[in-house]
A and B are shown apart, each in its own frame.
Chain A
Amino acid sequence: MIKKLITISLTLLAFTGWNSATAQDTIKMGALATLEGAFAVLGEDGMRGVKMALEEFGYEAGGKKIELITGSSDASPDSALRAARKLVEQDGVPILVGPLSGSEGLALKDYAKTQPNVTFVNGVSAAQDTTLREPADNFFRFTTDGAQWMAGLGEYAYNEKGYRKLAVLAEDYSFPYTQVFGFLEPFCRLGGQAPLDARFWVPIGNKDFSSVIAALPDDVDAIYVALGGADAINFLTQYGQAGGELPLIGGSITVDQTVLGSRGRIREHVVGMPSAGPISDTWDDPLWQAFTDQYRKQFPDGFPSPSLFAHGYYISTKATLLALDKVNGDVSDGGKAMRTALSSLTFETPTGTVSLDERRQAIADIFLTEVTVDDNDNLVNKTINVTGQVSQTFGLPYQDFLQYGPVSRENPRCE
């Protein structure tokens, strides 16, 4: 009994003692990513991005030490909320970088409204309404959303590839809705078709795609696939096994390094797949080259090239640290000064300049890519085209863009 009491008191002492001794000259930063579930690999790479930015700053910003506290979710909104609550309410972080997945971002935006003194910087979650409709004042997104990521792909599929009718296969939540909207809107405006009964929505974490593959129509020119992580690997392998022959078009995370770098038999079916997103593996900008070199050096066990998750978390963390630098690490005013600094922050990233619009949503360059095999026999996305400074409303006035309606399974209808 006495032994137990001693253990308990020692444990308590360890926790409280630690905090009070270091509270003055350190700032706690929470980082939240999907380290569990179907997107675990994506989350791991996101965390690598956080560590790269921190390493670059020597774990210091504005003269204060940064203490990283990580949280984990499984891509479901409630798990993200639980992890964010723990970080904010128990660990008391004044700054939270995350989350990773679309619907998690929507949940955290709403949570941010209840915590006005905490600064939320998005990880890479890319659902449109996280910043488009009813944004939170203390939620910043330095990464672009799923619809922005598709810039140029719809036009490319219609004009260059000559596709006229498509089937759609995507996961059933806010991020793929955003991607499908961003891709189909220009494609259908040009005259392309994607009938509602040729759109297939599967739950996250679905393993067995054979029945969906069987249900895919034959009378389409190509299939647009917006799946991520393990889901994408499963689909691509099974599509090959089933003898599927239609050309594929990829969503941003479908042929990302988290999928291309996996150990499986997907090679034959993905080479030549067009896609679009915030990065391109073969981008020849020196800043991007330096970024990938640093990634490989720091994480020999990582992917052959950083994924868009490492990239996104890196940018988000770097923005946070830059803002902290500006306010000399002072967040004692509930982070107000820091948020002002964040709002006006413009900086150079490995993929061009990033700035925020009035709803604290990033404006950045988007890359049109195609999967190819590089000199080291790795699968990479090579750059085909770059669309400069894509905004969330595609250059339209805010009110006009709202006319398109919220993203959903049936937006655009495309008939």
Chain B
Amino acid sequence: MQRFLNKHPTRAVFVLLAIASLAWLIFSVWPEWLIDLIGRKKTFVNTLINGLTLGGLYFLVASGFTLIFGLMRNVNLAHGTMYLLGAYIGYEVAEFSNNWYLGLIAAFIAVGLCGMLMQLLVFRRMEGDDLRQTLVTIAISIIAADLMLAVWTGTTYQFTPPEWLFGSVTLPIVSAIKSSGEVVYLKYPLFRLMVMLLAILVGVVLWLFLNKSRIGMMIRAGVNDRDMLSASGVNIQLIFMLVFAIGAGLAGLAGVVGGTALSIAPGEDIRYLLASLVVVIVGGLGSITGAAIGAVIIGLAEQFGLAYLPTYGVVITFLIMVMVLAIRPKGIMGK
């Protein structure tokens, strides 16, 4: 912090100014001219939180994707399938046991196992052959999508979250002051705030796991030099399977979370695969921090697009991608 201040005094001033004005935008009561300029405060602040919570969901999906790529250089295009499969399995378990948490855990474990099997039965046999792996994962995703359509049909499913998570909470942010002088506070769906908290929790746990644990150290060593790691007596196949299980399991977990916050239906697999791809391209392939940054940027872009430019909102996401690719071809945190 101190070093940054000394090194780039002008940049630091800009960053501080940006933070201060954002805080002012969130906590102050907006004057008339600002409302005329960019609309009501409720829209702006809501969109901001929406972007962050959607970013949280994207991070849950994309962190597994980037983890797998980072270690195995394997672009797993069946990652969206893992998301959808987790959602369906979680739904069945949650319906059967009438317990949402059980569904969440079941999705993580079941899809984690699927990931392990995929590594064991498929990817191990074509190690280092990127093109074949990519094609095989596309094939798996297409076949699985049709199988899931056959089993769960095209109906839209929605989870029933635990009672205390349903509904909205009042945030300590003033939305507007009515002419009668009554202060209106901002309301926000509680579950979506929880999505963000869960994403932060998963991010912290992943960071601790990768940076502080012995297995994490092995994984990082494997990212840098696979051959040296296996030469030093580590069973690299076991590590691969573990990472694949965690990556896929996270996607499954995200399926339940996403299915509760939004909904699940055929086609979601492709949507989240695309989202993860864009997130990791923007954030930098293989970096967990990059996935977090990318997820927040894409989440915000999508939500602000939807609120302020509904028809052309989608374009913003891809504009950001193009810009990042032009300036930093390997992504923001890419090496």
Binding site for B on A (CB under 8 A): 35-38, 40-41, 43-44, 74, 172, 200-203, 205-208, 210-215, 229-230, 233-234, 237-238, 241-243, 262-265
A230 and B46 form a contact (CB under 8 A): no
How many Å lie between the Cα of A38 and that of B262 in the bound state?
13
Pick from B47, B189, B304, B310: contact of A242, CB under 8 Å: B189
**Closest residue to B268 on the A side, CB-wise?**
A207
Residues of A within 8 A of B313 (CB): 203
Which of chain B's residues 22-52 have a Cβ closer than 8 Å to chain A?
A: 39, 42-43, 46-47, 50-51
A212 and B307 form a contact (CB under 8 A): yes
How many Å lie between the Cα of A229 and that of B263 in the bound state?
12
- Decide yes or no whether B97 CB sits under 8 A from chain A: no
Segment at the interface with A among B156-164, B197-205, B208-216: B156-164
Pick from A40, A215, A229, A234: contact of B43, CB under 8 Å: A215
How many Å lie between the Cα of A43 and that of B32 in the bound state?
48
A211 and B265 form a contact (CB under 8 A): no
- Decide yes or no whether B96 CB sits under 8 A from chain A: no
Q: Apart from A215-B307, A243-B167, what 16 extra A-B contacts exist at CB < 8 Å?
A: A36-B267, A40-B266, A41-B156, A44-B153, A44-B154, A172-B310, A200-B310, A201-B311, A207-B262, A210-B192, A212-B307, A212-B310, A214-B42, A242-B188, A243-B187, A262-B158
How many Å lie between the Cα of A40 and that of B192 in the bound state?
27
A202 and B267 form a contact (CB under 8 A): no
Pick from B153, B166, B265, B314: contact of A38, CB under 8 Å: B265
Q: Can you list 20 A-B contacts (CB < 8 A)?
A: A40-B265, A44-B154, A74-B267, A201-B311, A207-B271, A208-B262, A208-B306, A211-B47, A211-B51, A211-B303, A211-B304, A211-B307, A212-B306, A214-B47, A215-B307, A233-B158, A234-B262, A234-B263, A264-B156, A265-B160
B310 and A201 form a contact (CB under 8 A): yes
B154 and A43 form a contact (CB under 8 A): yes
How many Å lie between the Cα of A74 and that of B271 in the bound state?
14
- Decide yes or no whether B230 CB sits under 8 A from chain A: no
- Decide yes or no whether B168 CB sits under 8 A from chain A: yes
**Closest residue to A202 on the B side, CB-wise?**
B310
B191 and A241 form a contact (CB under 8 A): yes
A211 and B267 form a contact (CB under 8 A): no
Residues of B within 8 A of A243 (CB): 167-168, 187, 189
- Decide yes or no whether B82 CB sits under 8 A from chain A: no
- Decide yes or no whether B155 CB sits under 8 A from chain A: yes
Chain B min CB distance to A306 (Å): 16
Residues of A within 8 A of B50 (CB): 208, 210-211, 214
Residues of A within 8 A of B54 (CB): 208
How many Å lie between the Cα of A243 and that of B157 in the bound state?
21
Residues of chain B at interface, number, CB under 8 A: 40
A36 and B266 form a contact (CB under 8 A): yes
**Closest residue to B45 on the A side, CB-wise?**
A214
Residues of A within 8 A of B42 (CB): 214
Top 10 closest pairs, chain A to chain B, by CB: A40-B154, A214-B46, A264-B158, A211-B307, A241-B189, A243-B168, A230-B156, A207-B262, A211-B303, A215-B43
Residues of B within 8 A of A265 (CB): 158, 160, 166
Residues of A within 8 A of B154 (CB): 35-36, 40-41, 43-44
How many Å lie between the Cα of A243 and that of B189 in the bound state?
8
Chain A min CB distance to B176 (Å): 9
A214 and B310 form a contact (CB under 8 A): no
Given A44-B153, A208-B50, A262-B155, decide whether A203 and B314 contact each other with a Cβ distance below 8 A.
yes
Residues of A within 8 A of B156 (CB): 41, 229-230, 233-234, 262-264
How many Å lie between the Cα of A263 and that of B94 in the bound state?
13
Chain B min CB distance to A47 (Å): 11
Residues of B within 8 A of A242 (CB): 168, 187-189
How many Å lie between the Cα of A237 and that of B288 in the bound state?
32
How many Å lie between the Cα of A9 and that of B314 in the bound state?
47
**Closest residue to A237 on the B side, CB-wise?**
B158
B310 and A263 form a contact (CB under 8 A): no
How many Å lie between the Cα of A263 and that of B46 in the bound state?
27
Residues of B within 8 A of A202 (CB): 306, 310
Chain B min CB distance to A199 (Å): 9
**Closest residue to A232 on the B side, CB-wise?**
B156
Residues of A within 8 A of B43 (CB): 211, 214-215
Chain A min CB distance to B40 (Å): 8
**Closest residue to B43 on the A side, CB-wise?**
A215
Chain B min CB distance to A45 (Å): 10
Residues of B within 8 A of A36 (CB): 154, 266-267
Residues of B within 8 A of A241 (CB): 166-168, 189, 191-192
How many Å lie between the Cα of A243 and that of B171 in the bound state?
13
Pick from B166, B263, B266, B303: contact of A264, CB under 8 Å: B263
